Each structure stands twice: as C-alpha cells, then as structure tokens.
Amino acid sequence: MKGNLKYQFIDETSAKSFWSSHKDQMIENAKGLVLTDEKLSIQGTELHYRAVVEGKEQTGSIDLAEVWIPGAIGWQHPIPLLLHKDYVKAIVDVVDKYANNAKHTISFAKTGVISQFNIASQFVEYFCLNGHIHLSHITKKHIEGLKSVLKRGGIPSMLNIPQRLESFIDKLIEEDNLEPYLRRDDRSKNAKVKGIQIPKLAKAIGCVSLANQVPKSIYRKIYHHLQEKGVTVRQEFGQKGIETGGQPSQKSFGNWFSIWNQFAKLDTADQLQIVPFPEPYKLSKDLGKQAGRTGNLDVEDVVNLLGSSHQWLYEISSILISLVKQVCREKDKLLSDGVSEDYIQRTLLPEFVGKSSKARELEKMLSIEIHKTSLDSSRSNPNAYSLTEIITMLVSSCYVALQTYNCRRQAEIQDPVIGVQEDLFICKSKKLNWYQACLYNEKNNERRWYTLNNSSTKAIQILSKLKKAWNGTHAEGLFVVPNFTISQNGHFNHYKFNFNKGKDSRISGNMFLKLALGTSDIPTGSQTFRRIYAIIYHYQFKNADLLALCHQMGHVDPDNTTVSVTEPAARDQHEQLHHKVKLTKNEKTESTIAIQEENKALEKVIEEVGIEATANDILTLLMGTEEMAGKYTAYLKRVYRVLQKSVSFNKITNENYGSDFDDLSPEDKSEVMAKMLDEKGHKHRPKPHATCHRRKGEAKKHAEPCEPIKCAGCPYQEVKQAQLNIMIDDLIELKTIQSDISKLPIERFRANEDIANLSKLIEVHERSMERSKTLFIKGVSNGK
C-alpha cells in the first residue's frame, strides 16, 4: 500500500469531530451532484433511490457523508467520500447510468443500487490507497497493478483489507479501546459480546464496505483477547468471518469490470482516459474461478423435507393456529381489564401458554419443550423452543411446500410485495378442489395465474389463517411471524420471515431444517428447490420432452432445464462457460399477443434445429467422423437396422427419392431418418442459442465461444426473423378481418385493437434487428 498503513486509521471521537467541522462543505458538494434518472434523487447528503413494483414503492438511501475512504494525498486519515468532490461525482454518475438502464424491480431497490455504488466506490478506494486523487491520471500501468492484486483474492486483496484490519485491531487491543466497536446482547455493561460494529470499523480504516469481508482471523483474535480479559463472549463469535485467499468467480470479476469500465464513459470533468478492461469476459475468465453449482439434494433429504413439511401442514398447523388464537384472545381480555402491556407480554402470556392443553399437545407431537418464561425468546433454556420459533417453523414448512411445488424464486414466494398474496389466491371450483394463484416472475416483471396442487393450496390457506389468528392485518405480505410484543394500538408486533436469512437469525428456516433433517447445513437457496421441482416433474412424466418443463420454469434455453435434472458431475458438458444470449429482450409493449408470437417463432426454430441436429448426429454416426457411444448412439443404430428391413419405409424412400433406403447417399439417409423420427415424436435436445448459424463451409470469424460482445445479435437473429415473418402474416390476416363487413362488430373491434398492438410490436422488432446487425458487425471486427 505504499506506506499508507501508518495514516490509515481514525478513532470514533476524531471521526465525529472531523465530520462536524466539514458538514457544511459536504452539503455544498452534494448540491453539485447531477442525477438524470427519476428513480434517484439527492436529499441533503443522502442518495435516495426507489422502485415502484406492483403499485407499491420500494425505497432506500445511502448517506454519502457516512461513506469514508482513504484520504490519499493531503490527508493523514480517512475522510468522507463527499470531500472528494470529483470522485463522488464520478461514482454517482456511474450509479445514474445504471439506473437509466434499469427497470422498476424489487432487486433494483434491494441490492442493485447498493451493489453498483459499493463496487464503483471500491475502485476509487483502491486508487486513494495508492495516492491517486484524479481519474484522469490513472494509466494502463496502474490498471495492470490493479489486475495483479486481484489475482490474489479479489476485492479484499485489492484493498488490503485483512492487513488494514489486523493493524487497526492490534492498535485497539494495545490501547485497550475495543469496546466502541463491539456488539452486545443488550446495552448493559456485562452483556455477552455477540459481534462487531462493522460500519464503525469500516469508517475507522477508510473502507467503503466491510460486509462479508472481515476475515475469520480477526474474529478469533478479538475472541481470544476478550476471553483473556474475562469478558463473556458468545461461542459462535469465534466462528464468524470469511476464509481469506479464495479467488472470486468469473461472474464476480465480470460484474466488477463492467462497472469499472463506466468510469471511462462519464459526463463529469474528471474521467478515465482509457477503457481499463477492454475485454472483460476474457479477463474475468483468466482471473476468476468457474462458478460452482449448487448440488442436488439427496433423495432421502428431499423425502424427509417434504414429509416434515406435510406433517406441519396437515397435522400440526390446526393445533398451533388454535393456540395462537387463544393467546390473542387472552391478550385482548387482559388489555380490556387494564393490565399493563409489559406485564401481559413478559409474565401473564407465558404463564397462559405454560398451562395451555394445546401447548402440551404440540410438545407431545413434536417431541420438544415449549419455553415457559417468554413467547419470543428461548435463550434462558437452549433446549426449549419459544412460540415465535415454533410459528417460524410452520411458516418455513409453508415456504418449502410453495417453493418445491411451484418452481418459484425465493422472493416470488416470501417477499411482501412480489411474493404470494392472499388477494391473488382464488378458488376456481370447490367441487373439483381447484385453486389458483397469480404468481410473480421476477425476470419478466409480471404475474400469471397458475393452478396449485393440494399442498400449495393448503400452505397459502394456513399462512392466511395464521395471520388472522394474531390479527396481523397491519403486516405486509403473508410471510410474517408474531413476536408477541404489544404495540401502542394493542396489536402484536411481528418479524419479517426470510427462509435463508442466515444462521444468526431465528426468523429463518434453520430450526425447521434441523428438526426435519438434523442439520441446517444443506443448500436451500431457491435454485435447490427449483431443481427438486424439475426432477419430480421430469420423472413423473417418464422423461417427457423437456420443452414443457422448460416453459414451466421460465427458461429461454432447454439446455438450462437439462442442467436442472442432471447430477452436478454431468454438468460440465452442458455448461461450458459462455454468456447465455436470451432469445428475446423482453421489451415491454402494450400488446397482449407478444408472447404468443414469440412462442410461434421459437417453436418453429426449435423444430428445425432439432431435425437438423438429429440428421447431423446420424450422418456423423454413418460416416464415422467422430467417436460416438452411449444409449443415444445405440438407439440410432437400432433404428437404422429396423429401417433397412422395413418394407413400408423403403416404399416411402422409393416414392420420394427413387431408390431403396440402403441405396441412398449418407446425407439423404440422415435427412429421411431425422424427419421420420421427428414425426414419431423423437425430439433432439435443441440448442437455438450459442451455436454459430454461419453457412456451411464458411470460416468462423472468431475463436472465442459465442457471446454478446463477439457476435451480438447473431444467435437469436434467426428467431427474430422468423418471429417477424409470422407477425407480418398475422397482421395481414387481422387487417382482412377488420375490413370484412360480414364479421361481427366485436370481432372487427378486437381485430382493430390487435392491429395497433401488433404494428407497434413489429416496429420494436425491426429496430432491435437493426441494432443487432450493427453490434454483430462490430463484434466480428473485434474478434478478428
């Protein structure tokens, strides 16, 4: 770090004093920041961001005055980012450019803006550490230095975080000044230490963000020091932190490089004079490790997980909901008698639960003990479960059922805004036990109605009943858990449930997993549940055509679906690293027939590619140009032998080709076999993307795999053209209907409305194709 270590720190008292003395200057600098996107605004020294999703506004903010970075030349300690006038303008401009290209989505407000801001700021932090206060002074040599440190552990290595933290912690230990940076169970002096004040540490060493970047060695050093001093520390404190030395994935590097490249495209006075990472994909591939895949759960785990979920849904839920109703009624009765809220919550309600027959029944069914001194916390008795924790396990079982049987992403199930909603859940037929839910798709930013199975129906009904049981009408969404503290208006307060929130959280799926599987260490991200769904669906229909499953999962490419039903060891052949180019850009139009037109084109191309690919496989087998083995090859050989002897098939080849099957050329044999197999229902695994569609015999113009920067537009241009042709034909047919006076007025009216929508859609596609052609020409020239 070129000697910056000696002036890297600032203590809490000095930081407050410095901040106060420069507050006016920071406010003045904030006034000079320019934003062009309506989702962003500057209020005082805060960057505010918002997204309107489903008619509800999601908001957040970053106080630029509370983000501290190394002082670089002229300062002897870290300073607020807002005092670096040019740097803060550059960072805000990067975020603004991102916001201009981003839609109103949940992820924009939750993680998108914060991620863009932090990654852009970390680039600035690196150059401040190395004495550069102007972007325009950064050279290729400096960028090469940045690349070299990234090879040794990513952002923490680049920013020297482990060394800076260790030096600062050593200084605090030497001065006996750790206390301001510790987190305790409560505010009492002798409460157990449970964590570190991460934002304070970040400010002290001049770091933009230390989230998920504090090494295990730091936690262990603090843990042992506190133990030696006789301070009580939670045992899990010593196990916290990250392992250092691990190399980030290619995806992480690619994300960083694309954001940092924006510093060369700014509208500010100070900007990079070079594009720092001109080939981000190639560089990220060289520097990063290939992204790992979440493994499929063992069949035994899946059975236990679903079995436990069903037990909670069908056996335990009614008793638990009945107990919650009793607790709520008792609370209302005690409040009406004038008893204080604190006494009710801390003493009377736990006593009530301790005497409840419903509670004893639950204990017997679950083979557990319910905590008798608090409804929310069970820390005084680690072997007992509080009522809040038991309710969390019921909610977790509902989450598992909805995730497993509906193939949704995590937020699409549990988020208060885009998650499962009671008012978007209907009974289509009580006689047929037919229920539907309108489920959100994050990638398309829209909802669609889906028919539910019995378990999913039961889960939504339970979540609704549970919320009503504790009068949670003021709580947003269905995934909420009462904490049984009483609010000023006499209602129970609540926690927001998150299944994968983390091991430190009680309001997550951890306890349910431990009870169902004996451990909470199995991977339970939404992708795991999507794979369980895929496997159940796939094998339920005896290896049926994956295109139906592909459509259900919302994949663009059937190859992605194939990955979901194969073991991790077999995935390498399906997923050689390259950018997956989507078939459509999901350009939003008013047309309700856009998806229908897209599907027509996609089915046409998949059909053609499937027949052609099968024919190529057969030709390869006949010519012996490649080594082929396995069940698929044996199947083709068996078909070939049958067709040789088939009288009816030889009759067909004589009619179409003028000779018996055996006398045809290898090319003709391949073609006629492939067409026959397709007519019989055989589907080749289609690959409509990432396959070069150049003409036979034409040389490939670049060595790299198909990816947007090399051949943007090419992989899906064929689909776009097919879709355009279909839409033009449909437009002609609609105009015919609209002008036909023999048609009913309502038919002509609808046709007229569809003509306007389809015309707009055709214009969008034509513009998109023109852009794709330009990008493709540029991509090919880059790849020469």
784, pLDDT greater than 70: no
DSSP H or E stretch at residue 483: strand 480-486
Count of CA atoms in the C-beta half-sphere (13 A) of 414? 26
The predicted structure's pLDDT at residue 626: 53
The predicted structure's pLDDT at residue 535: 67
List Cα–Cα distances, 367 to 319, 360, 384, 700, in angstroms.
Answer: 15, 10, 11, 66
Which positions ≥6 away from 681 have C-beta within 8 Å?
none
Q: Find residue 41's DSSP bridge partners.
A: 48
Quote the pTM value.
Answer: 0.65
DSSP H or E stretch at residue 261: none
Residue 105: phi, psi to the nearest 5? -135, 165
Collapsing DSSP to helix, strand or coil, 11 comes out as coil
**Alpha helices in 680-713, H assignment, sequence order:** 708-711
Is there a contact between 156 and 162 (Cβ–Cβ < 8 Å)?
yes
What gap in Å lies between CA 500 and CA 510, rounded to an integer? Answer: 8
CA 453 to chain centre: 25
Question: In terms of Cα–Cα distance, which of 71, 175, 174, 164 is closest to 124?
Answer: 71
Give 298-332 pLDDT, tens digit per residue.
777 777 888 888 889 988 999 999 999 999 999 99
- Of 71-75, 522-526, 605-609, 724-728, where does mean pLDDT reach its minimum? 605-609
Beta strands 193-196 and 182-184, pairing class: antiparallel
Beta strands 46-53 and 182-184, pairing class: unpaired
Give 27-40 pLDDT, tens digit per residue.
999 999 999 999 99
Question: In terms of Cα–Cα distance, which of 638, 586, 577, 714 is closest to 285?
Answer: 577
Q: Is 396 exposed, middle or buried (0-12, 13-18, 19+ CB in 10 A)?
A: buried
Give 394-403 pLDDT, tens digit per residue.
999 999 999 8
Confidence of residue 724 (pLDDT cuts 50, 70, 90): confident
Which positions ≥6 away from 416 have C-beta within 8 Å?
476, 477, 479, 480, 496
682 vs 354 pLDDT, higher one: 354
- Per cent of the chain over pLDDT 70 is 77
Is there a contact between 138 and 132 (Cβ–Cβ < 8 Å)?
yes
602 vs 376 pLDDT, higher one: 376
The Cβ of residue 304 has, within 10 Å, a number of other Cβ atoms equal to: 16
Question: In terms of Cα–Cα distance, which of 316, 324, 526, 551 is closest to 415?
Answer: 526
Collapsing DSSP to helix, strand or coil, 4 comes out as helix
Q: What is the mean pLDDT of the chain?
A: 79
The average pLDDT across 444-448 equals 84
The predicted structure's pLDDT at residue 187: 75
Confidence of residue 615 (pLDDT cuts 50, 70, 90): confident
541, pLDDT greater than 50: no
Instruction: Measure the CA angle with vertex 745, ends 742 and 750; round to 5°.
Output: 115
Is there a contact between 670 and 678 (Cβ–Cβ < 8 Å)?
no
Is there a contact between 477 and 460 (Cβ–Cβ < 8 Å)?
no
What gap in Å lies between CA 131 and CA 143, rounded to an integer? Answer: 14
Which positions ≥6 away from 567 have C-beta within 8 Å?
296
Confidence of residue 462 (pLDDT cuts 50, 70, 90): very high
Q: Give residue for tokens 């194939």.
A: 562
The predicted structure's pLDDT at residue 129: 86
Q: Find residue 405's DSSP bridge partners.
A: none
Beta strands 384-385 and 369-370, pairing class: parallel
Confidence of residue 752 (pLDDT cuts 50, 70, 90): confident
